[in-house]
A and B are shown apart, each in its own frame.
Chain A
């Protein structure tokens, strides 16, 4: 079986593509999500909603501390039909290496890496490598960071996500319904920064309104 994969894009081509605004949103790249609190699963839900239906396997890499402190991804709770390849590594450098290897493979729908804390290997160079590789092979890459500070990074979008009180369940007023998250894009290469209330929908993520309106669901619930 002799066949060659398509040649990866050069950086000039990538930058020329990015010049067209229509292509920007569809461009796969590296994004980072910081969790406000360690035990909050809002960043995971945010990333999955942002990816939308991928239709291909997701490579999910966790370092040991992330696995022990926050558990493993649970297939029954993920969107229907999600396929996962899960790797547990003990060192952050292995997690970054596995992410790079995964980004080289266009059969993957996405690569999600969970790195705990601020390891020295996760520096500007490492994130730059991930970003360039994700853009060259068009595989979206997400880094979920917990107990971490937002240091220097080449991630194109950087988010900070936390849970908000959920929407009320229509049938049961005492029960929490569809989740809501507060998502703050505090650094972005191509898009606007700001704070939104995010909500998952069947088609993907809905970013609803800015700072002024984001008290609304909480007020509704208190009333």
Chain B
């Protein structure tokens, strides 16, 4: 063999053809890792982040106009108004209007006198609320306990929109709290929403810092009292009349309020409701009164996420890695997934997701990944997304059990996997399993149940007479020619074809089930008949002549014998 004839050795396998970029999957905050111990919850151990969205309504209105092609100019004062008891009231303003002295809560006619070139449009309060709800879902990219901040009193300042999240233990996923706040501000600004986030040990302190302190305020637990002392009393989320009262009393700052003996304040405010009670608000801010963040549903216990370097359109390439990571965690905790949800967090501030279910708890990454085959196209990626999460909202106990001595898998697992694949593509309703049921009525003698559920033990009994191979749902009416009043018809027309009865067997009388049927239900006389060409049918007459339950009995074809 010559040197030239040698084939080059196959080189070692290099990296796969398509390797997705982006960081490797990591566990989502809120997921319970198997090795994570539960820490006791003493005071001031939580980290709450509040995000103030000062111009949420105005910016949404501006975006809607810009999408229509007539973006409003920035330098003309613009306000949004709502109906008040004495005419329209300013709800939100843009920067130019704010510089001209327009304040939210004032009447539009007064502000027109102040600034004649003011333009006013009506605010869409319901639309704003819905947009905030969608933004809350999208903001779960940072932390699963995220909610709209509704704790503030009635709108004194126009932009009441805000988010609150419990970021305890979530900040390390984004490189610390300072980096997390910067990321929040940046990503919200790419959506066209100006935001000022702040993190503090309590909800009240975070709310105050986000609104009344320099941007991206961070408050360590030990410095809480010093940080909040110079803030105005309005930062306590108090109603305007209480703020006015405190200012008249000469208590302009939170520090002044804490310097006053508690007993003398309590004498004055003991019966005031929460929004007008500076003492309770102060206790909330200092952590003496618990105020947990309520984010609606609990975050799933098992969830992983992949943060991508830049927005992409197709999540398929990241799914195997996510499934492997999730199944690793499930295996360590001894659980299997019954339901899976893939969510993508889009760059335009929306979240879309697609779910799959399994017939039996599973933690086989290849199988779980295949459930999404052909379904990820249904996810709406918008202009791309930069965060993918895979969550298992429903899990079941799944121990490792050896059922066979040879190396084959047991039959149940294979069948459950087949059911999963079929149901994932055809829909869970298309796949059903008939179970025998205890009833004499033929159509009730089997119960059609979804194959995804757990199979029930058989409870049926074997009927005495032969039963057809096929049953029609519902039975089809026949036109008949009587030969004898009590026997089967001599001839019948079904689907426009005439069948002559050559031989028959019967009748088999099946009475209605009085405990289930309506009072007027009639009995059925079933006959097994054979027509002239050998086809065998199961026909019945509903009722008998003179049973007092309606007109002449009708004939139906209910089944076909093989």
Looking at B411, B494, B534, the one whose CB has the most chain A CB atoms below 10 A away is: B534
Is A121 in contact with chain B by the CB < 8 A criterion?
Answer: no
Is B418 in contact with chain A by the CB < 8 A criterion?
Answer: yes
Count of chain A residues with Cβ under 8 Å from any Cβ of B?
Answer: 58
- Please tell me which one of the listed residues A75, A101, A164 contacts residue B434 in the complex, with CB atoms under 8 A apart: A75
Instruction: Write out the residue numbers on chain A whose beta carbons fall within 8 Å of the beta carbon of B431.
Output: 85-87
Given contacts A40-B535, A45-B562, contact A5 B408 (CB under 8 A): yes
Check if B408 sits within 8 Å of A6, measured CB to CB: yes
Instruction: Write out the residue numbers on chain B whose beta carbons fall within 8 Å of the beta carbon of A89.
Output: 426, 430
Check if A48 sits within 8 Å of B562, measured CB to CB: yes
Instruction: Write out the residue numbers on chain A whose beta carbons fall within 8 Å of the beta carbon of B504.
Output: 174-176
C-alpha gap A106/B415 in the complex (Å): 9
Stretch from B165-173, B237-245, B469-477 forming part of the interface with A? B469-477
Check if B562 sits within 8 Å of A56, measured CB to CB: no
Looking at B401, B421, B535, the one whose CB has the most chain A CB atoms below 10 A away is: B535
Instruction: Write out the residue numbers on chain B whose beta carbons fall within 8 Å of the beta carbon of A1.
Output: 400-402, 409, 413
Instruction: Write out the residue numbers on chain A whose beta carbons fall within 8 Å of the beta carbon of B442.
Output: 74, 76
- Please tell me which one of the listed residues B448, B528, B534 contacts residue A164 in the complex, with CB atoms under 8 A apart: B534
Instruction: Write out the residue numbers on chain B whose beta carbons fall within 8 Å of the beta carbon of A97.
Output: 425
Check if B411 sits within 8 Å of A56, measured CB to CB: yes
Instruction: Write out the residue numbers on chain A whose beta carbons fall within 8 Å of the beta carbon of B434.
Output: 73, 75, 84, 86
C-alpha gap A59/B414 in the complex (Å): 13
Is B446 in contact with chain A by the CB < 8 A criterion?
Answer: yes
Interface of B is mostly: mixed
- Please tell me which one of the listed residues B401, B408, B471, B535 contacts residue A71 in the complex, with CB atoms under 8 A apart: B471
B405 to chain A minimum Cβ distance, whole angstroms, is 11
Closest to A46 in B: B562
Check if B469 sits within 8 Å of A77, measured CB to CB: yes
Is B463 in contact with chain A by the CB < 8 A criterion?
Answer: yes
Report the number of A-B residue pairs with Cβ-Cβ less than 8 Å. 170
Count of chain B residues with Cβ under 8 Å from any Cβ of A?
Answer: 58
C-alpha gap A99/B469 in the complex (Å): 21
* Residues 405-464 (chain B) with a chain A CB within 8 angstroms: 407-409, 411-415, 417-419, 421-422, 425-426, 430-436, 442, 445-446, 448, 451, 460, 462-463
- Please tell me which one of the listed residues A106, A166, A181 contacts residue B530 in the complex, with CB atoms under 8 A apart: A166
Instruction: Write out the residue numbers on chain B whose beta carbons fall within 8 Å of the beta carbon of A172.
Output: 505
Is B561 in contact with chain A by the CB < 8 A criterion?
Answer: yes
B524 to chain A minimum Cβ distance, whole angstroms, is 15
A107 to chain B minimum Cβ distance, whole angstroms, is 4
Check if A71 sits within 8 Å of B426, measured CB to CB: no
C-alpha gap A193/B468 in the complex (Å): 30
Instruction: Write out the residue numbers on chain B whose beta carbons fall within 8 Å of the beta carbon of A56.
Output: 411
Check if B402 sits within 8 Å of A76, measured CB to CB: no
Check if A87 sits within 8 Å of B422, measured CB to CB: yes
Is A44 in contact with chain B by the CB < 8 A criterion?
Answer: yes
Is B559 in contact with chain A by the CB < 8 A criterion?
Answer: yes
Please give the residue numbers on chain B whose beta carbons come within 8 Å of chain A beta carbons, in ascending order.
Answer: 400-402, 407-409, 411-415, 417-419, 421-422, 425-426, 430-436, 442, 445-446, 448, 451, 460, 462-463, 466-473, 494-495, 502-505, 528-530, 533-536, 559-562
Beyond A44-B562, A74-B468, 11 additional contacts (C-beta under 8 Å) are: A37-B535, A39-B535, A41-B469, A42-B562, A57-B415, A59-B418, A74-B467, A75-B446, A77-B466, A107-B412, A165-B534
- Ordered by A's residue number, 6 sampled pairs between the chains whose C-beta atoms are within 8 Å are A1-B409, A48-B562, A70-B560, A80-B462, A83-B433, A165-B534
Please give the residue numbers on chain A whose beta carbons come within 8 Å of chain B beta carbons, in ascending order.
Answer: 1, 3-6, 37, 39-42, 44-46, 48, 56-57, 59, 70-78, 80, 83-89, 94, 97-98, 101-102, 104-108, 162-166, 169, 172, 174-176, 179-181, 200
